């Protein structure tokens, strides 16, 4: 007959738990994916400068004086602005980007949904 020793079960369980923990740590190196609604909350649930990922459709684009372009990205939950140093997409394109979360100050005098944006990593 085959018998399992309690100590070998504990050892195997600990080894499996350790491997799962290591795999979980490796996954956190990747930027988390957020929706426009999650980023647009006024309580700054996402830390400034946090690297995140977001995807959606480009619904508007505004060229800026310094050659940068602001893109308005829409997903199923809402819209958010993305700042890029150069042209990266056209209106109607489905894109996925990685960038830093930025918050405007109260002095910018914009309504609350426009106080957060994502700056593309260069």
Say if 18 falls within a structural domain.
no
Say if 104 falls within a structural domain.
yes
Measured distance CA(115)–CA(54) in Å, rounded: 17
Say if 99 falls within a structural domain.
yes
Residues contacting residue 30 through CB under 8 Å, at least 6 positions apart? 53
| 104 or 86, which is more confident | 86
pLDDT tens for 66-88 read 889 999 999 999 999 999 998 99
Look up the CATH number of the domain holding residue 44: 2.40.50.140
Residue numbers of the domain that contains 83? 32-120
How many domains, the chain?
Answer: 1
| 18 or 16, which is more confident | 16
Say if 81 falls within a structural domain.
yes
Say if 9 falls within a structural domain.
no
Checking if the pLDDT of 63 tops 70, the result is yes
Mean pLDDT, residues 1-14: 54
Say if 21 falls within a structural domain.
no
Say if 51 falls within a structural domain.
yes
Mean pLDDT, residues 45-65: 91
Nearest to 48 by CA among 108, 116, 107, 111: 116
pLDDT at 104: 81
Single pTM value for the model: 0.68
């Amino acid at each position: 007959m085959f018998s399992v020793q309690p100590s070998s079960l504990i050892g195997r369980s600990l080894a499996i738990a350790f491997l799962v923990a290591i795999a979980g740590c490796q996954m956190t190196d990747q930027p988390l994916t957020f929706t426009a609604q999650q980023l647009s909350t006024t309580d700054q649930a996402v830390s400034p400068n946090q690297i995140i990922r977001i995807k959606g459709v480009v619904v508007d684009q505004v060229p800026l004086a310094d050659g940068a372009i602001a893109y308005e990205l829409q997903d199923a939950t809402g819209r958010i602005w993305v700042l890029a140093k150069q042209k990266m997409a056209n209106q109607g394109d489905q894109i996925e980007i990685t960038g830093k979360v930025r918050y405007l100050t109260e002095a910018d005098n914009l309504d609350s949904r426009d106080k957060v944006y994502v700056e593309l990593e260069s």
